[in-house]
Amino acid sequence: MKRTVWITVLAVVAFLAMIIARLPASWVIPSSSKTSCTSVGGTVWDGVCNGLVAQGQAIGDISWELHGSALLTGKVIAAVMLARPGGTARANLEYGFDRHLIARDVKADLPLDPSLLPQLPANLHGRLRADLDLLRVDKRAVREVRGVIEALDLQEGPPGQSSPFGSYSITFPGGGGNPLGRLRDLGGPLSVEGSLKLTPEPGFELRTLVAARPGAPADLEQQLRYLGSPDAQGRRPFDMTATF
Beta carbons of 91 and 103 less than 8 angstroms apart: yes
Identify which of 147, 113, 106 has the alpha carbon closest to the alpha carbon of residue 127.
Answer: 113
Residue type at 163 in one-letter notation: S
Identify which of 117, 111, 118, 124 has the alpha carbon closest to the alpha carbon of residue 157.
Answer: 124
Query: What is the pTM (predicted TM-score) of this model?
Result: 0.83
For position 26, what pLDDT does the model report? 66
pLDDT in tens, 97-107: 777 899 999 99
pLDDT in tens, 191-211: 999 999 999 888 899 999 999
Average pLDDT over residues 104-130: 85
pLDDT in tens, 130-164: 999 999 998 778 899 999 999 999 988 776 777 88
C-beta atoms surrounding 72 within 10 Å = 7
